[in-house]
Amino acid sequence: MTQPLRILSKITFAIILALAAGIPAARAQGDAMLTQYWALPTYYNPGAAGDTDNLRLRGGGRLQWVGIDNAPKTFVLAADMPFKLFDKRFGAGLVAQQESMGLFRNLTVNAQIGYKVKILKGELTGSLQIGFLNEQFRGSEVYIPSDDDYHQPDDDAIPNRDVAGNALDLGVGLFYTHRRFWAGVSLLHANNPTVTFTSDGQSASGSTSAPSGDGLAKKYQFTAKRTAYFMAGSNIPVKNTLFEVIPSLLVRSDFSITDFEVTGRLRYNKLFTAGIGYRHKDAVSVMLGAEIKGIFIGYSYDYHTSDISRASSGSHEIVAGYNLKLDFSEKNRNKHKSIRIM
């Protein structure tokens, strides 16, 4: 392992271990727990950027808890590719997420850069991610009935006007790919990004509230917790057939709560895929997918096993994208070959 990657590996695991020792509780705007997480690996791990020889474009939408008003809606866009510089391999990616839930909105946009080395017949990538987190709260739409015994219409704990702010968002990741399997560990929101703004609608920086027309303005904070992810999966050919078994796993922890998803898919002739999944204490899922001439589309449905099923008919998710094969050979340095199905 090269010196830069060795240093990055030590930093990544040192941060994760240090955080595991104890993190103060904070309000979190968490990442979406996608059912088709394997289709958008860079969303959870910047180290997955450029993990194939493709320019990979993906987008997805998730409608959660259909039937419940103001339930979460999540949209994700991701693009990544490998490239060479000074005869070294790198990976680069861009990821954007927009999520709405009731009166809350959050937007994250991140750029990713990773350094790749060959090791143990596979490739290990260490990556950094940098971007911003935007939080919004539509306080102007808050409605508190006059007979509410818990909240008062003039409750200082609830903004009475629209507020928004930004914060720097950082992440790190390690990702290993092999001909038959892949695995990675990452830490997102590593700097515990916190958006702070006041009840007068302005972003706040500092320890004291700014004065408003009727006294001191109230400060509000929205925080994305540091979150660690572990991802792994494999391709297992079924002997003498055109089928492959594709198991995968995603584990997420903010060091106070840990959850996970396990998925099993069956792929035929590298074209059509069907599978089932289970999310811990939340849902069972079914999924279908197809990959034809570089075009990918996948659909999944979640039936929730928690009490939320009493009010919701389930959750729906669609992911679509395009893969363009890149050629890094010396003879065709500036050309593209034909598209290869992933």
Q: What is the pLDDT of residues 273-320, one digit of tens each?
A: 999 999 999 999 999 999 999 999 999 999 999 888 899 999 999 999
For residue 213, the model assigns a pLDDT of 46
Closest CA to 126 of 234, 11, 231, 44: 11
For residue 44, the model assigns a pLDDT of 97
Name the most confidently modeled range: 99-103, 111-115, 138-142, 221-225. Answer: 111-115
For residue 48, give both structure tokens.
């997955």
Residue 246 makes CB contacts below 8 A (sequence gap 6+) with 38, 233, 234, 235, 236, 264, 265, 266, 267, 273, 275
Q: Which residues pair with 221 in a beta bridge?
A: 196
Mapping DSSP to helix (H, G, I), strand (E, B) and coil, where does residue 231 land? Answer: strand
How far apart are the C-alpha atoms of 31 and 46, rounded to whole Å? 14
CA geometry: angle at 315 spanning 280 and 109, to 5°? 85
DSSP letter string, 180-214: SEEEEEEEESTT--EEEEETTS-B--SSSPPEETT
Least confident stretch, 61-70, 79-88, 153-162, 240-249 = 153-162
Q: What's the rounded mean pLDDT across residues 102-127?
A: 93
Helix (H) or strand (E) holding 96: strand 88-101
- Per-domain residue ranges of the chain: 44-143+161-198+219-325
Q: Whole-number mean pLDDT of the chain? A: 83
Number of residues that this document lists for the chain:
342
Under a CB-based contact definition with an 8 Å cutoff, are residues 287 and 35 in contact? Answer: yes
Q: What is the pLDDT of residues 177-221, one digit of tens each?
A: 998 899 999 999 999 999 887 655 555 544 333 444 455 566 778
How far apart are the C-alpha atoms of 49 and 193, rounded to whole Å? 23
CATH of 44-143+161-198+219-325, one of 2.120.10.30, 3.50.50.60, 3.40.50.720, 2.40.160.60: 2.40.160.60
Cβ burial of 320 (10 Å; 0-12, 13-18, 19+) is: middle
